[in-house]
Amino acid sequence: MSADRCTYGTALGCARVLALVACGALACITSCAVAAAADAVSLPYSPGLDLKAMDRSVDPCTDLYTYACGGWQKANPIPPEQSSWDVYSKLAIEVRTFLKGILEQLAPVAASRSPEQQRIGDYFAACMNVDAVEAAGSAPLQGELARIAGLPDKRALGALLGALHTRTWGSGLLFASGVEQDARDASRMIASVDAGGLGLPDRDYYTKQDAKAREIRTRYRAHIARVMTLLGEPHAAAQADAMVVMRIETALAASSLTMVDKRDPYKVYHRSTLDELQKLAPELDWSAYFKASGLVAAPWLNVSELHFASELSAQLARESLEDLKTYLRWAVAASSSRYLSSGFVAEDFAFNHAYLLGTEVDQPRWQKCVAWVDRDLGEDLGREFVAREFPAATQAAALHMTEEIETAMRERIERLTWMTPETKAQALAKLAAVRNKIGYPRHWRDYSPLVIRRDDFFGNVQRAAEFESHREAAKIGRPVDRDEWEMTPQTVNAYYDPQLNDINFPAAVLLPPLFDARMDAAPNYGNTGGTIGHELTHGFDDSGRQYDGAGNLRNWWTPTDAKQFDERAQCVRDQYAAYTVVDDVKINSALTAGEDIADLGGELLAWMAWQADQEHKAAAADPAAKRDGLTESQRFFVGFAQWACGNVRPQRLRASAMVDPHSPPRYRINGVVSNMPEFAEAFHCRTGQALVKPASKRCVIW
Ligand SMILES: [Zn+2]
């Protein structure tokens, strides 16, 4: 272990840090922060290829994932406050710990704080002040509850929902709304009305009829009743209310599209005028809704699910005003529980995390507070993070690798045997139009209109939701901002946006062990090269391929090429459908197809880019030469597999199988390499071994 390596364990084990977690009062933060400032927090280092993470007793040709990650899995049991634990989430918590150090330094009132530092410091201080949160009880909700109670008739619902939606984080009350690029004209920002209003993670939780699904619904009803009791309702009334909520949510769920259907962009695009929406769903006063929410429905909007909108209207006609009020009371409390006093927090945890995901204890308060600063003031926090942890050299190196991956993609498209020149020209044009965004935004978001108070945590959360709603609404009718990011720089993740046609790599996803400047090229290409290739391939997966280079939903494929693509995508779907997630649950590969295609394409691109890289060419003079007992090619594949090392609780696996478009980590590794002859060659695998497919069975798209 080198001197500069500080492990996660030692960072958390520091007595001062533990004391800080244990106390929550503002006075305590202030005194601890002053002490903590003396030894600045630093990020721990884990190497980009971790030999200790491996289990060399396993044959990689049978199970590369366990060969590369078996040691990691043993050494990293799932912390009690997590439902899964992997290289990404561990790094995310390390980043969060690092950010906590920054926020503790900025929390005390000081004249030296910039306006940005003042906002994030005060937000964090207010959030950590659990005494004040506890003392407030359910009082912060009383204003909203009074407005719901005072609703005179159903016609007034439009205005009330418009206001509630702007102030509430979550999936929407009764339905959701937002702002998006018009799918048919990506240069235009429009409003959207979407399905929503559910308290369980997905509509399938309400519609499935197996024993487990029924058990979840029974437990959910009990959870609703307990929350209603916390609002002050007598036991019997709370039980009756839970039945009402369940009936309303079940009807919303039944008319909502499945997650698989929602992957089809044509199924969620219906350009409508406000008049058309009013005719489709006459029971809600949509003009009043739009006025109160600040959204503008001109010249048109997207009603993403027409059936949902008309059924919502029918439901509003059917349900009594009193029952609708009951639902709203519940929905406001459920979406706010996390920000209220301990009774609400404990009930929210017990159902949503302990029961549904298998988590043993709730996250410490500071982890939640850092996460909420990240959500509500993410780019103010991002300035601090980037200034400390994102050297220009990392940005340049990541950009260089991205350009190599794009060159590989260009060559692969040019060489495709199944695609006609016509469609190839379109694909190449789309590829050339991809924008690379690496690290952090060109312009930082201006949060100055957002009022943050040191003594009003709940108010800060509400005002932040309102600020975000208005910021989004203000985009309608303005040119698209192509420099905007959907993730903050301190997020350990990456994404492709089909309508902006850009790939985005936040600074924190370019940290070791994912991207490691101290490491040789092979594992870096296997890991981060694969991530870059993954995001780029999303532009060409079964969903992304339906958008053109300008971000418009437009069919640029000849019918023959589309058919050829579908056959190859079906190969991937068939392969992953055979994998078991947990117990009798198989991968729903219609849901995971886009990610599985991106995983496969990404690693093929990473391999090609690595082969072509000058540094690699120099190192590969002797392909049999070994480092740490591994050849260069083997280091590439171990580096690849180690991005996904992790452990997952069975409850979480079951929940993810319904809602997560990603396959479980093991298959994101083993499923990919079984299609790569380069892998079989690297480890001298024999025909017939588990991860060696015969050439005729291999899936290859891009
Ligand atoms: Zn992806």
Contact 288, 159 (CB under 8 A): yes
Distance from residue 553's CA to the centre of ligand 1 (Å)? 19
Distance from residue 585's CA to the centre of ligand 1 (Å)? 22
Contact 497, 437 (CB under 8 A): no
Residue-level pLDDT at 511? 98
Distance from residue 299's CA to the centre of ligand 1 (Å)? 33
Residue-level pLDDT at 10? 26
Distance from residue 482's CA to the centre of ligand 1 (Å)? 20
Consecutive sets of 10 residues in the chain, 702 residues long: mean pLDDT of each? 28 26 30 40 93 98 98 98 98 98 97 98 98 97 98 98 95 94 97 98 97 97 98 98 98 98 97 98 98 96 98 98 98 97 98 97 98 98 97 97 98 97 98 98 98 98 98 97 97 98 98 96 97 98 97 97 98 98 96 98 98 80 86 97 98 95 98 98 97 96 94
Distance from residue 595's CA to the centre of ligand 1 (Å)? 5
Distance from residue 398's CA to the centre of ligand 1 (Å)? 18
Is residue 287, in this structure, part of any structural domain at all? Answer: yes
Distance from residue 545's CA to the centre of ligand 1 (Å)? 14
Residue-level pLDDT at 622? 79
Distance from residue 493's CA to the centre of ligand 1 (Å)? 9
Is residue 223, in this structure, part of any structural domain at all? Answer: yes
Domain span at residue 195 reads 139-359
Distance from residue 535's CA to the centre of ligand 1 (Å)? 6
Is residue 678, in this structure, part of any structural domain at all? Answer: no
User: DSSP code of 156?
Assistant: G
Is residue 175, in this structure, part of any structural domain at all? Answer: yes
Contacts of 146 (CB under 8 A, 6+ apart): none
> Rounded distance, CA 32 to CA 366, Å?
13
Distance from residue 26's CA to the centre of ligand 1 (Å)? 40
- pLDDT digits 0-9 by tens, 481-533: 999 999 999 999 999 999 999 999 999 999 999 999 999 999 999 999 999 99
* 345-354 long-range contacts, CB within 8 A, separation 24+: 347/223, 347/226, 347/227, 347/230, 350/223, 351/219, 351/220, 351/223, 353/83
Is residue 210, in this structure, part of any structural domain at all? Answer: yes
Residue-level pLDDT at 140? 97
**CATH number for the domain harbouring residue 285:** 1.10.1380.10
Distance from residue 544's CA to the centre of ligand 1 (Å)? 11
Distance from residue 315's CA to the centre of ligand 1 (Å)? 36
In angstroms, what is the C-alpha Rg of the chain? 26
AA identity, residue 394: T
> Rounded distance, CA 139 to CA 377, Å?
25
Distance from residue 590's CA to the centre of ligand 1 (Å)? 14
Distance from residue 419's CA to the centre of ligand 1 (Å)? 24
pTM value is 0.92
Is residue 163, in this structure, part of any structural domain at all? Answer: yes
The total number of structural domains in the chain stands at 1
Distance from residue 614's CA to the centre of ligand 1 (Å)? 28
Distance from residue 557's CA to the centre of ligand 1 (Å)? 22
Is residue 324, in this structure, part of any structural domain at all? Answer: yes
Q: Enumerate the β-bridge partners of residue 178.
A: 192
> Rounded distance, CA 666 to CA 647, Å?
10
Secondary structure of residue 514 in the 3-state scheme: coil
Which helix (H) or strand (E) segment holds residue 272: the answer is: strand 271-272
Is residue 594, in this structure, part of any structural domain at all? Answer: no
Distance from residue 237's CA to the centre of ligand 1 (Å)? 45
> Rounded distance, CA 333 to CA 328, Å?
8
Where are the extended beta strands (E) located within 87-209? 176-182, 185-194
Query: Which of 275, 283, 289 shows the shortest CA–CA distance to 313?
Result: 283
Distance from residue 279's CA to the centre of ligand 1 (Å)? 38
Residue-level pLDDT at 6? 26
Contacts of 614 (CB under 8 A, 6+ apart): none
Distance from residue 537's CA to the centre of ligand 1 (Å)? 9
Distance from residue 578's CA to the centre of ligand 1 (Å)? 20
- pLDDT digits 0-9 by tens, 423-432: 999 999 999 9
417 backbone dihedrals φ, ψ, rounded to 5°: -90, -20
Distance from residue 661's CA to the centre of ligand 1 (Å)? 8
Q: Quick one: 579 exposed, middle or buried, by C-beta within 10 A (0-12, 13-18, 19+)? A: middle
Residue-level pLDDT at 40? 57
Q: At what angle do helices 589-612 and 665-673 cross, to 10 degrees?
A: 60
Distance from residue 42's CA to the centre of ligand 1 (Å)? 29
Distance from residue 519's CA to the centre of ligand 1 (Å)? 25
